[in-house]
């Protein structure tokens, strides 16, 4: 007998339809899978056999051939298992109904259990796009799949339930549509914990307002990690599109669960400095997203930047430039988006106290140079802002005055972001940090006072053209925070504080 049913394959972010065709021939018992299956798919045979026997059904005596079409695309992983099983049940005549309007994805475990798969959200989107009425996914993936509208999603936990439902002996209810909710970053952290540090606080606000990458430099205990950890609390909530985009990446990475079906607060990823290049940007024979993509629409925080291997950091340059990662493999190339704010923290020297008013630095000039050279110029260049953080003086730490809360700062940031969204609507970029250079004159207009001040500072500090560009972009963010149509001299002064040329260390 011959049968056919439907499944979905994944490569990177791309889901593609797969037809599963089964034919049982008379003859020697044999079980083959064709259609460019990899080792993982070939192992499906054992899992399918075990699932069949878990139902107390005898495996067919003859030769079973299952073909995965289209035959020219490599198939990998275990997500086809359930479709293979359903197709076999049809070919055996156990299941008589047509499944032409249904899609099946899921990995089979022993004793007929159905286990979760990666990418269920993308798979469901494709099924809907291709006009299918129903998709059967593992129970654990049902919630993330149910974000997709206009398709019935069934979460199943065993082949027994699946079969009973398909033959009409029980009725499983479909998963109700799950509507992404815009959530604010929730947690214990708040900017009201950060005493003093007025300049650094303003700097973080400016970074948040314009999406600028920021490098925090200061001695141990000066509060770098504390400031960085609180950045998500002053960013505006994610939009629905952002939630879906980011959640989709987590779905593909297998990082969603039924308790946590969507990423609805901006991600804050803080990989350890021992991470590999592949861990950072993604990799593997079946490419999976790395930290940069898991930070999509959020923040990637590299604490102790100088401790990272230089070669690990180098791989960040291209993703930072293009907002996406492309991983090439013989079987094709996978592309993952990665629009994130890069925040990094480091000490100014190996002992940590260069330039500190607190304690004397014990490093030689050569040691300092060596230490700083661990971070390449081109990478340093990706940071619009450098914030020097001095240890907080005692009177600031002991003051009774409550510092401003994250909520108050966030309101200003939101307003600044709204101005940018309006100004850049339909232009393909969203924030001041990403204004293409050829648009600078159009979007960074200055008042005559500001022009004059900028010109003076440019000459005084012997700025490079690139530094000038950075300052204009930051000044645009300052103007958006302050509600100025044109950049004025106050905005220029604010921006100038956060450039490396007046940094004590990074000459
Ligand atoms: N401005 C501040 N207001 C209140 N507490 C502070 C402030 N700065 C630092 N602290 C306290 O000091 C601790 C150490 O700060 P943090 O870990 O952020 O320093 P760091 O600069 O990251 O140091 P390291 O270089 O060692 O990583 C914080 O947990 C916090 O309790
Ligand atoms: Mg720290
Ligand atoms: Zn030192």
What's the pLDDT at 185?
62
Task: Compute the distance from residue 410 Cα to the ligand 1 centre, in Å.
Answer: 22
Q: Is the CB of 230 under 6 A from ligand 1?
A: no
Query: So what's the pLDDT on residue 90?
Result: 96
Quick: pLDDT tens for 355-405.
Answer: 888 889 999 999 988 888 888 777 888 898 999 998 887 777 777 788 999
CA–centroid distance, 196 to ligand 1, in Å, is 12
Residue 392 near residue 195 (C-beta atoms within 8 A)? yes
pTM, 2 dp: 0.89
pLDDT, one tens digit per residue, over 169-200 is 999 999 999 888 776 666 789 999 999 899 99
Centroid of ligand 2 to alpha carbon of 316 (angstroms): 21
To test ligand 1's pocket by mutation, which of 221, 302, 399 has the most ligand atoms within 8 angstroms of CB?
A: 221
Q: Tell which atom from ligand 1 comes closest to the C-alpha of 220.
A: 25
Confidence (pLDDT) at 186: 67
Average pLDDT over residues 487-504: 81
Note the Cα 163 to chain centre separation in Å. 37
Alpha-carbon gap, residue 474 to 381, rounded angstroms: 14
DSSP 84-132: HHHHHHHHTTS--S--TTEEE--EE-GGGBEE--S-HHHHHHHHHHTT-
Q: Is 218 in the pocket of ligand 1 (CB under 6 A)?
A: yes
Please tell me whether residue 377 adopts helix, strand or coil conformation. Answer: helix
Q: In angstroms, what is the span from residue 222 Cα to ligand 3's centroid? A: 15
The token pair at 374 is 């661990």
DSSP one-letter code for 501: G
The yes-or-no verdict on residue 37 having pLDDT over 60 is yes
What are the b/e assignments for 350-379, b being 16+ CB within 10 Å? bbbbbebeeeebebeeeebeebbeebeeeb
Helix (H) / strand (E) element for 77: namely: none
Structure tokens at 155: 């979460």
211 Cα: distance to centroid of ligand 1 (angstroms): 24
- CA–CA gap between residue 221 and residue 139 (Å, rounded): 46
Q: Name the 3-class secondary structure at 490.
A: helix
Spatial contact of 7 and 73, defined as CB atoms under 8 Å apart:
no
* CB contact at 8 A, 293 and 282: yes
Cα gap 327→288, rounded to integer Å: 9
Please give the Cα distance from 59 to 53 (Å, whole number): 7
- Closest CA to ligand 1's atom 7: 223
Q: Which helix (H) or strand (E) holds 489?
A: helix 489-496
pLDDT band with cut points at 50, 70 and 90 for residue 502: very low
> Could you tell me the distance, in angstroms and rounded to a whole number, from the CA of residue 446 to the centre of ligand 2?
38
Per-residue pLDDT band for 500 (boundaries 50, 70, 90) equals low
Residue 140: its pLDDT value, please?
94
Ligand 1 contact, 221 CB (< 6 A): yes
pLDDT in tens, 113-131: 999 999 999 999 999 999 9
Model confidence pLDDT, tens digit, residues 393-432: 777 777 778 899 999 999 999 999 999 999 999 998 989 9
* pLDDT of residue 503 exceeding 70: no
Of residues 274, 312, 292, the one with CA closest to residue 213: 292
Mean pLDDT across the chain, nearest whole number? Answer: 91
How far apart are the C-alpha atoms of 42 and 425, rounded to whole Å? 49
- Residue from 203, 204, 222 to probe ligand 1 pocket by mutation (most atoms less than 8 Å from CB): 222
What is the distance in A from the centroid of ligand 3 to the CA of 354? 5
**Distance of alpha carbon 378 from alpha carbon 389, whole angstroms:** 23
User: In the chain, what percentage of residues exceed pLDDT 90?
Assistant: 72
How many Å lie between the centroid of ligand 3 and the Cα of residue 356?
9
Ligand 1 atom 29 nearest Cα: 226
For 186-239, the pLDDT digits (tens) are 678 999 999 989 999 999 999 999 999 999 999 999 999 999 999 999 999 998
Q: Are 23 and 347 in contact (CB under 8 A)?
A: no
Cα distance between residue 302 and residue 497, in whole Å: 22
Ligand 1 near 222 CB (within 6 A): yes
Which H or E run includes 14?
Answer: strand 14-25
Helix (H, G, I), strand (E, B) or coil at 59: coil
Note the pLDDT tens digit of each residue in 69-97.
Answer: 998 888 988 999 999 999 999 999 999 99
Ligand 1 contact via 220 beta carbon (within 6 Å): yes
**Average pLDDT rounded to a whole number, residues 470-479:** 95
Nearest CA to ligand 1 atom 26: 220
Distance 150 CA to ligand 2 centre (A): 47
Q: Which of 191, 225, 302, 396 to mutate to test the pocket of ligand 1 (most atoms within 8 A of CB)?
A: 225
> How close is the Cα of 391 to the center of ligand 1, in Å?
9
- Residue 154's beta-bridge partner residues? 136
Q: Is 194 in the pocket of ligand 1 (CB under 6 A)?
A: yes
Compute the distance between CA of residue 456 and CA of residue 170 in angstroms, rounded to an integer. 79
Q: What does the pLDDT read at residue 453?
A: 96
For the cut 50, the answer to whether the pLDDT of residue 30 exceeds it is yes
Rounded distance between C-alpha atoms, residue 24 and residue 93, angstroms: 11
Closest ligand (CA of 361):
3
Residue 179 — φ and ψ, nearest 5°?
-95, 125
Ion ligand 3 neighbours, Cβ < 5 Å: 349, 351, 354, 361, 363
Tokens 């099946």 belong to residue: 104
Q: How far is the CA of 225 from the centre of ligand 2 (A)?
A: 4
Confidence category of residue 506, pLDDT binned at 50, 70, 90: very low
| Secondary structure (DSSP) of 391-408 | PPPHHHHH--SPPPPHHH
Q: What is the DSSP string of 320-353?
A: HHHSEEEEEETTEEEEEE---EEEEEE-SSSSS-
Cis peptide leading into residue 70 (ω within 30°):
yes
What's the pLDDT tens digit per position in 249-258? 999 999 988 7
Identify which of 195, 196, 223 to mutate to test ligand 1's pocket (most ligand atoms within 8 A of the CB): 223
The pLDDT tens digits for 308-367 are 998 899 899 899 988 999 988 877 788 999 999 999 999 999 999 988 888 899 999 999
Write down all domains in the chain, each with its CATH number in brackets: 2-166 (3.30.230.10), 191-427 (3.40.50.300), 435-507 (1.10.8)
Residue 397 has a pLDDT of: 76
In this structure, what is the dihedral angle of CA atoms 371, 377, 383, 384, given to the nearest 10 degrees? Answer: 130
Measured from the CB, is residue 83 less than 6 Å from ligand 1?
no
Ligand 2 ion local residues (Cβ < 5 A): 225
Atom number of ligand 1 nearest to Cα 391: 8
195 CB near ligand 1 (under 6 Å)? yes
Percent of the chain with pLDDT over 70: 98
Does ligand 1 lie within 6 Å of residue 223's CB atom? yes
């Amino acid at each position: 007998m011959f049968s056919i049913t439907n499944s979905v394959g994944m490569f990177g972010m791309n889901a593609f339809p797969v037809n599963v065709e089964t034919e049982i021939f008379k003859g020697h018992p044999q079980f083959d899978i064709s259609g460019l299956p990899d080792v993982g798919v070939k192992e499906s045979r054992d899992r399918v056999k075990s699932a069949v026997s878990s139902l107390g059904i005898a495996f067919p005596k003859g030769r079973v051939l299952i073909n995965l079409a289209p035959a020219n695309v490599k198939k990998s992983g275990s997500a086809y298992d359930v479709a293979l099983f359903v197709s076999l049940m049809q070919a055996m005549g156990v299941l008589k109904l047509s499944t032409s309007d249904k899609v099946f994805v899921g990995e089979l475990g022993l004793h007929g259990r159905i286990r979760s798969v990666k990418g269920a959200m993308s798979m469901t989107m494709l099924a809907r796009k291709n006009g299918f009425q129903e998709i059967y996914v593992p129970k654990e993936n049902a919630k993330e799949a149910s974000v997709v509208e206009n398709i019935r999603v069934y979460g199943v936990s065993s082949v027994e339930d699946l079969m009973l439902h398909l033959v009409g002996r029980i009725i499983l209810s479909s998963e109700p549509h799950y509507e992404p909710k815009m959530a604010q970053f929730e947690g214990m952290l708040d900017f009201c914990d950060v005493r003093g540090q007025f300049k650094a606080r303003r700097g973080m606000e400016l970074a948040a307002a314009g999406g600028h990458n920021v490098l925090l430099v200061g001695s141990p205990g000066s509060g770098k990690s504390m400031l960085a950890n609180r950045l998500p609390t002053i960013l505006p909530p994610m939009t629905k599109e952002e939630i879906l985009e980011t959640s989709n990446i987590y779905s593909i990475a297998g990082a969603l669960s039924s308790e946590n079906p969507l990423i609805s607060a901006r991600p804050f990823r803080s990989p350890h400095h021992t991470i590999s290049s592949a861990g950072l940007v993604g990799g593997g024979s079946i490419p999976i997203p790395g930290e940069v993509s898991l930070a999509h629409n959020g923040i990637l925080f590299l604490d102790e930047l100088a401790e990272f291997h230089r070669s690990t950091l180098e791989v960040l340059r291209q993703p930072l430039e293009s907002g996406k990662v492309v991983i090439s493999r013989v079987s094709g190339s996978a592309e993952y988006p990665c629009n994130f704010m890069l925040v990094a923290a480091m000490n100014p020297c190996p002992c940590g106290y260069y330039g500190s008013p607190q304690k004397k630095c014990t490093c030689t000039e050569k040691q300092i140079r060596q230490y700083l050279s661990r971070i390449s110029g081109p990478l340093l260049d990706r940071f619009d802002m450098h914030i020097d953080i001095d240890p907080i003086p005692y009177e600031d730490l002991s003051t009774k005055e409550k510092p401003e809360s994250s909520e108050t700062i966030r309101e200003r940031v939101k307003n600044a972001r709204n101005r940018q969204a309006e100004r850049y609507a339909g232009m393909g970029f969203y924030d001041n940090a990403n204004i293409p250079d050829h648009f600078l004159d159009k979007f960074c207009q200055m008042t005559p006072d500001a022009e004059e001040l900028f010109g003076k500072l440019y000459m005084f500090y012997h700025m490079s053209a690139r530094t000038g560009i950075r300052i204009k972009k930051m000044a645009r963010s300052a103007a958006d925070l302050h509600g100025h149509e044109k950049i004025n001299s106050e905005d220029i002064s604010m921006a100038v504080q956060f450039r490396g040329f007046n940094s004590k260390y990074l000459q």
